Amino acid sequence: MRLYGREFASRLLLGTALYPSPDILAACVRAASPALVTVSLRREGAGLRAGEGFWSLVRDLGVPVLPNTAGCHTAREAVTTAQMAREVFDTDWIKLEVIGESDTLQPDVFGLVEAARILSGEGFKVLPYTTEDLVVAERLLEAGCEVLMPWGAPIGSGRGLNNLFGLRALRAHFPEVPLVVDAGIGLPSHAAAAMELGYDAILLNTAVAKAGDPAAMARAFAQAIEAGRTAFLSDPMEGRDMASPSTPVFGRAVLA
């Protein structure tokens, strides 16, 4: 997988929130071998050194960090958070979130495009959390984004791929743009289905963190993503309405 000119061996991006313990988080990262781990910046008092142990753990995992602007509701707030994250994590990569609706956590696409344009102009490598809307996608690309991250379903819902038509259309309209399904993935089968559509990667968090055995689930997702990608590349058969016998009847013996 190639994002912003950088190659990654894995097509799984893993969030670092909600895990029962730091040890379980570390076990999940080892089991999944993700390309990137996402972390959110929280504004803490500098004198308290809050969160230092967590950041130390993330650094020790040896996986590239993708800061995100989780919880931001305006373009201005997201831009400020991204600028702070660049200083804290020493990276110009950012997962851009601008939330517009509290119940569904649907992106505010207007603020998203505005923030993407500002951050791209400042040299950030922006990975925007967006919807599957084709017009919004075009605006984000015009704003400087080289990767798009459409949602599968609302964050943390585990509903899978709510709009297959929209996701297929997005893939068809932008065949050369890296597309990452972000949010709503609940099962490895959801991830495999997205990869079979031709998507380039999956970003997930809750489905692993809230599993009964998070490390086993992380491994299952990694395997499903690899299987889905392999299936897509193998040019799978198209579905049909009528049966087609796998054993030909031509040449079959006829008993009188």
User: What residues are designated binding site for 1-deoxy-D-xylulose 5-phosphate?
Assistant: 156, 183-184, 205-206
Residue 194: pLDDT over 60: yes
For the chain, what are the domain ranges?
Answer: 10-234
Residue 57: pLDDT over 70: yes
Q: What percent of the chain has pLDDT over 90?
A: 82
Nearest Cα neighbor of 167 from 198, 140, 122, 212 is 198
Mean pLDDT within 72-79: 96
- Predicted confidence band of residue 55 (pLDDT cuts 50, 70, 90): confident
User: pLDDT tens for residues 224-248?
Assistant: 999 999 999 999 888 888 888 887 7
Residue 255: pLDDT over 80: no
- Predicted confidence band of residue 92 (pLDDT cuts 50, 70, 90): very high
Residue 10: pLDDT over 80: yes
Q: CB–CB of 141/179 below 8 Å?
A: no
Burial of 84 (0-12, 13-18, 19+ CB in 10 A): middle
pLDDT of residue 46: 46
pLDDT of residue 256: 60
Instruction: Tell me which DSSP letter residue 239 carries.
Output: P
Residue 252: pLDDT over 70: no
Sole residue written with tokens 């015009």: 142
Q: Report d(CA 177, CA 164) in Å as an integer.
A: 18
pLDDT of residue 130: 98
The Cβ-side half-sphere exposure at 137, using a 13 Å CA radius, reads 23
Mean pLDDT within 193-220: 98
> Which CATH code is given to the segment(s) 10-234?
3.20.20.70
C-alpha gyration radius of the chain: 20
Residue 83: pLDDT over 60: yes
List the catalytic residue out of 11, 86, 95, 190: 95
Residue 250: pLDDT over 80: no
pLDDT of residue 245: 80
Write down the mean pLDDT value for the chain: 92
User: pLDDT tens for residues 137-175?
Assistant: 999 999 999 999 999 999 999 999 999 999 999 999 999
pLDDT of residue 47: 44
pLDDT of residue 211: 97
User: pLDDT tens for residues 103-122?
Assistant: 999 999 999 999 999 999 99
125 catalytic residue (yes or no): no
Q: Report d(CA 154, CA 162) in Å as an integer.
A: 9
Q: Report d(CA 57, CA 23) in Å as an integer.
A: 9
Give Cα 109 to chain centroid, integer Å: 17
Mean pLDDT within 198-205: 97
Mean pLDDT within 164-192: 97
Nearest Cα neighbor of 24 from 217, 220, 214 is 214
